[in-house]
């Protein structure tokens, strides 16, 4: 199944899309990979979803990526007498370590790490920012605040801390249990929520031991401040605009999205743009014009993937949402302005052999007008460096490692296929020609470019480029 676009679509599974039949329909409509939200899925549900995705993958014969998205720390206030309290602007309100039910003057905060970390002047946003507080005094057991905006608070509402860096790591006890469970099911990507510092990736990296790639969700101001460091230690990043829009001014989010996208592209790391992309399609069969523009902006920006959340997980029109996103992406990439925009954003290559070969492959492919660039990649490195160049020629990524092919399914422009390892260079080129013809990326009489690492099976050693002519038998010809 050849896609007519380069940007990938990541669809979240949920009550509206958990059956094998629906997963198949979503893939046929355009979903390249699937997200399992561990905030809502227990381990049995997760295992069953993985099984169903792998069954669809086996039936269609193409690798499908799976992202298991960990919940991360959920910071919430305690409960109130009567379930809620009415506040007034400029009044004093306290969050403390007393487990008594709250009232209009105070409430229990069951997070000692917050009590210890918040400083005078720091903001506390309750209920997605509907209630805004500023700390006026703290003694590590209570935080006295002034009400800046909002007048209501109720049981178990969430707390956001845009100015405070917590000393604890990003993994909760639930996350650790979930991480162990998803690794046993061989998921391809693990999403890490509420990353604040590069150090927050250390524990997940130690536990995963390369069994899954790590995707850092950028949704806190502290993460934006240390963006380059976090990208350097991550395998991919996600622009998680929901919480980012709570903790930072809404008008700042579009610029931050561009900054994250371009920083990830410079580093050659996949970047996913997520949250409320087609939000109205939760209950409507068509999106708003503004949502279409939002998706288009991410595609023009060169994001590797765009993601659907509740639209595909719990909405009334999950297949239509995926199909709509597919059509938007296809249309954007047909725009005559699209190649120029992508070219203008193309980062300079790094001084490595892999980047030099990838740059040469793009330039030669575009100059010669070859049908496809075929890249052999065992670990994914060659595929990532080729995609970083954003060529206007299709890229066929061949790997003998099914896990690698699945992980690359979220990467811009890469059509992934699993093949047996080549025996030698001639076999490699013949195999590239044959699969390119089978996958309808080329035909007899056309040329293609092959990149790989030599000696074969040497991870990360992209150092070979070859131009091949496809003969009438579908193999390379001199």
pLDDT at 347: 87
Are 258 and 398 in a shared domain? no
Is there a contact between 9 and 319 (Cβ–Cβ < 8 Å)? Answer: no
pLDDT tens digits, 299-355: 999 999 999 999 999 999 999 999 999 999 999 999 999 999 999 888 888 888 888
Q: Which of 160, 193, 211 is the last residue of a domain?
A: 160
What does the alpha-carbon distance between residue 321 and residue 464 come to, in Å, rounded to a whole number?
41
Final residue belonging to a domain, choices 335, 370, 405? 335
Question: What's the burial of 134, exposed, middle or buried (CB within 10 Å: 0-12/13-18/19+)?
Answer: middle
Query: Is residue 29 domain-resident?
Result: yes
pLDDT for residue 7 is more than 60: yes
How big is the CA angle at 27 (ends 23 and 33), to the nearest 5 degrees? 90
Residue 348 lies in a domain: no
Residues 378 and 455 in one domain: yes
Residue percentage of the chain with pLDDT more than 90: 87
User: By C-alpha distance, which of 202, 192, 235 is closest to 73?
Assistant: 192
Quick one: 85 and 188 in the same domain?
no
**What pLDDT, on the 0 to 100 scale, is given for residue 314?**
95
Determine the straight-line distance between the first and last CA of the chain, rounded to whole angstroms.
Answer: 30
DSSP letters of 50-95? HHHHHHHHHHHTS--EEEEE------B---BGGGEEE--TT-EEEE
Of 132, 160, 188, which one is at a domain's C-terminal end? 160
Between 353 and 435, residue with greater pLDDT? 435
Sequence-distant (6+) residues with CB within 8 A of 295 are 277, 278, 306, 325, 328, 329
Is residue 321 assigned to a domain? Answer: yes
Examine the domain organization and report whether 18 and 44 are in the same domain.
yes
Same domain, 242 and 364: no
Looking at the structure, do residues 234 and 280 belong to the same domain, yes or no?
A: yes
What percent of the chain has a predicted confidence (pLDDT) above 70? 98
User: Are 318 and 358 part of one and the same domain?
Assistant: no
Give the Cα-Cα-Cα angle 413, 275, 75 (nearest 5 degrees).
Answer: 130
The Cα–Cα gap between 251 and 234 comes to 27
Is 1 domain-assigned?
A: no
Q: Strand 372-376 to strand 142-149: parallel, antiparallel, or no bridges (unpaired)?
A: unpaired
Q: How far is Cα of residue 203 from the mean position of the Cα atoms in its chain?
A: 20
* 37-63 pLDDT per residue, tens: 999 999 999 999 999 999 999 999 999
How many other C-beta atoms lie within 10 A of the C-beta of residue 277? 23
213 vs 346: CA distance, rounded Å: 25
Q: Are residue 189 and residue 296 in the same domain, yes or no?
A: yes
CATH of the domain at 463: 3.40.1380.20
Residues 295 and 385 in one domain: no
In a domain, 213, yes or no: yes
What CATH number should be reported for the domain holding residue 148? 2.40.33.10
Please give the pLDDT value at position 168: 80
The full DSSP string for 350-389 is: PSSHHHHHHHHHHHHHHHHT-SEEEEE-SSSHHHHHHHHT
Q: Are residues 407 and 269 in the same domain?
A: no
Q: Do the beta carbons of residue 68 and residue 189 sit within 8 Å?
A: yes
| Residue 82, C-beta contacts closer than 8 angstroms, at least 6 positions apart | none
Q: What is the pLDDT of residue 453?
A: 82
What total of structural domains would you count in the chain? 3
What distance in Å separates the CA atoms of residue 432 and residue 327, rounded to the nearest whole number?
Answer: 29
d(CA 311, CA 319): 9
How would residue 432 be classed by pLDDT, with cut points 50, 70 and 90? very high
CA distance 449 to 464: 10
In-domain check, residue 16: yes
User: Band of the pLDDT at 460, cuts 50, 70, 90?
Assistant: low
* Position 23 pLDDT exceeds 80: yes
pLDDT in tens, 185-230: 999 999 999 999 999 999 999 999 999 999 999 999 999 999 999 9
Is 346 a member of any domain?
no
User: Does some domain include residue 47?
Assistant: yes
Q: Is the pLDDT of residue 457 over 70?
A: no
Of 14, 16, 15, nearest in space to 35 by CA: 14
Residue 477 confidence class, pLDDT cut points 50, 70, 90? low
Q: Residue 271 sits in a domain of what CATH number? A: 3.20.20.60
**Structural domain harbouring 256:** 8-72+170-335
Residues 368 and 454 in one domain: yes
Mean pLDDT estimate for the chain: 94
Check whether 478 has a pLDDT greater than 60: no
Q: Looking at the whole model, is its pTM more than 0.85?
A: yes
Q: What is the pLDDT of residue 1?
A: 67
Q: Which DSSP letter does residue 322 get? A: H
- The answer on 135 and 181 residing in a single domain is no
């Amino acid at each position: 199944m050849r896609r007519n676009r380069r940007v990938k679509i990541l669809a979240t599974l949920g009550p509206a899309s958990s059956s094998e039949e629906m997963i198949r329909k979503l893939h046929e409509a355009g979903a390249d990979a699937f997200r399992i939200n561990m905030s809502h899925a227990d381990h049995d549900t997760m295992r069953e979803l993985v099984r169903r995705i792998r069954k669809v993958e086996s039936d269609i014969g193409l690798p499908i990526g799976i992202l298991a998205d960990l919940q991360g720390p959920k910071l919430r206030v305690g409960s109130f007498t009567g379930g809620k309290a009415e506040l007034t602007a400029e009044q004093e309100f306290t969050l403390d370590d007393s487990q008594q039910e709250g009232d209009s003057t105070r409430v229990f905060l069951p997070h000692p790490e917050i009590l210890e970390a918040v400083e005078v002047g720091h903001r506390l946003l309750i209920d997605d920012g509907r209630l805004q507080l500023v700390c006026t005094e703290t003694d590590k057991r209570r935080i006295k605040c002034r009400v800046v905006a909002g007048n209501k608070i109720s049981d178990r509402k969430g707390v956001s801390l845009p100015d405070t860096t917590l000393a604890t790591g990003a993994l909760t006890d639930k996350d650790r249990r979930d991480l162990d469970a998803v690794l046993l099911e061989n998921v391809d990507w693990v999403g890490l929520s509420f990353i604040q510092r590069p150090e927050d990736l250390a524990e997940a990296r130690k536990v995963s031991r390369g069994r899954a790639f790590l995707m850092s969700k950028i949704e806190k101001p502290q993460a934006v401040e240390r963006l380059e460091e976090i990208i350097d230690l991550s395998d991919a990043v996600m622009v998680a605009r929901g919480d980012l829009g709570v903790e930072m001014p809404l008008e700042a989010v579009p610029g931050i999205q561009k900054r994250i996208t371009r920083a990830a592209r410079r580093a050659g790391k996949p970047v996913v743009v997520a949250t409320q992309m087609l939000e109205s399609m939760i209950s409507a069969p068509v999106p708003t014009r503004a949502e279409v523009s939002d998706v288009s902006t991410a595609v023009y920006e060169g994001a590797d993937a765009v993601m659907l959340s509740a639209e595909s997980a719990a909405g009334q029109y999950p297949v239509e949402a995926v199909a709509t996103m597919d059509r938007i992406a296809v249309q954007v990439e047909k725009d005559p302005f699209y190649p120029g925009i992508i070219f203008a954003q193309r980062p300079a290559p790094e001084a490595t052999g892999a980047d030099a070969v990838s740059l040469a492959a793009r330039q030669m492919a575009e100059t010669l007008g070859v049908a496809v660039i075929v890249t052999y990649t065992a670990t994914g490195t060659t595929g990532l460096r080729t995609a970083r160049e954003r060529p206007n020629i299709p890229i066929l990524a061949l790997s003998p490692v099914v896990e690698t092919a699945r992980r690359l399914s979220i990467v811009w422009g890469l059509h992934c296929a699993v093949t047996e390892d080549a025996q030698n260079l001639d076999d490699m080129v013949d195999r590239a020609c044959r699969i390119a013809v089978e996958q309808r990326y080329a035909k007899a009489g056309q040329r293609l470019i092959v990149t790989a690492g030599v000696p074969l099976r040497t991870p990360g050693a992209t150092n070979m480029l070859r131009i091949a002519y496809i003969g009438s038998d579908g193999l390379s010809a001199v």
